């Protein structure tokens, strides 16, 4: 029985995140999707909203959604997990995540990090780009689950008819 943790801000949850969650849940006996409270960032959605979005989107009994703050390795100890799952889109992701994996290993020699490459359909996708597109009235259909699309539409005060309309530069 190997328990893994997939940490992230998930602000917002994207189809790329869901791809990693689905694939990681097939590799480990259980998976905790750990939504981090990062005091250095101002998220679009509150921690509670992000947890709620994940719980309303993931329907796999092997996957739990929890929140945490502090050191990731401390959360792994608390959860009795030994593996951190990280998704990679590009070489730049690898450089950062490799450094974090080494730091986590230094903090706890019992922790390993497993990297999963994103599917090519989502290699361009990031939460930041989704937020920017949605804030400017662009369509994020196919980038996020429908529930998240509704939340973004509501958050930015856009009507469904406003999404995807082009802005005229006159």
The reply to whether 59 belongs to the active site is no
Best CA proximity match to 89, nearest among 122, 131, 60:
122
Percent of the chain with pLDDT over 90: 81
CATH architecture of 3-121: 3-Layer(aba) Sandwich (3.40)
Average pLDDT over residues 113-135: 93
Q: Which member of 25, 30, 86, 127 is catalytic? A: 127
The reply to whether 41 belongs to the active site is yes
Give the chain's length.
170
pLDDT of residue 162 exceeding 60, the answer is no
How many whole angstroms separate alpha carbon 74 and alpha carbon 11?
Answer: 22
Q: Which member of 3, 66, 82, 89 is catalytic? A: 89
How many whole angstroms separate alpha carbon 121 and alpha carbon 22?
Answer: 15
pLDDT of residue 159: 53
Average pLDDT over residues 146-166: 73
pLDDT of residue 158: 60
Name which residue leads in pLDDT, 20 or 95. 20
Average pLDDT over residues 60-85: 96
Average pLDDT over residues 135-164: 82
DSSP structure string for 35-50: EE--TTS--SS-HHHH
Average pLDDT over residues 116-133: 92
The reply to whether 127 belongs to the active site is yes
Q: Which member of 41, 62, 128, 135 is catalytic? A: 41
pLDDT of residue 148 exceeding 70, the answer is yes
Beta-strand (E) ranges in 60-109?
A: 63-68, 83-88
The reply to whether 135 belongs to the active site is no
Averaged confidence pLDDT in the chain: 90
Residue 92's pLDDT band (cuts 50, 70, 90)? confident
pLDDT (tens digit, 9 = 90+) per residue, 6-21? 999 999 999 999 999 9
How many whole angstroms separate alpha carbon 124 and alpha carbon 127?
Answer: 10
Q: Where are the domains of the chain?
A: 3-121
């Amino acid at each position: 029985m190997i328990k893994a943790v997939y940490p992230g801000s998930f602000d917002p949850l994207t189809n790329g995140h869901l791809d990693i969650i689905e694939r990681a849940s097939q590799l480990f006996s259980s998976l905790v999707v750990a939504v981090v409270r990062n005091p250095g960032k101002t998220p679009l959605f509150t921690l509670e909203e992000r947890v709620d979005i994940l719980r309303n989107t993931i329907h796999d009994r092997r996957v739990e959604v929890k929140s945490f703050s502090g050191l990731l390795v401390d959360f792994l100890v608390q959860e009795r997990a030994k593996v951190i799952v990280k998704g990679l889109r590009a070489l730049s992701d690898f450089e950062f995540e490799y450094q974090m994996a080494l730091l986590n290993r230094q903090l706890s020699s019992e922790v390993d990090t497993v990297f999963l490459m994103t599917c090519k359909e989502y290699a361009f996708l990031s939460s930041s780009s989704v937020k920017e597109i949605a804030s400017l009235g662009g369509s994020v259909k196919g980038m996020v689950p429908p529930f998240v699309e509704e939340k973004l539409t509501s958050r930015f005060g856009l009507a469904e008819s406003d999404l995807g309309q082009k802005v005229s530069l006159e």
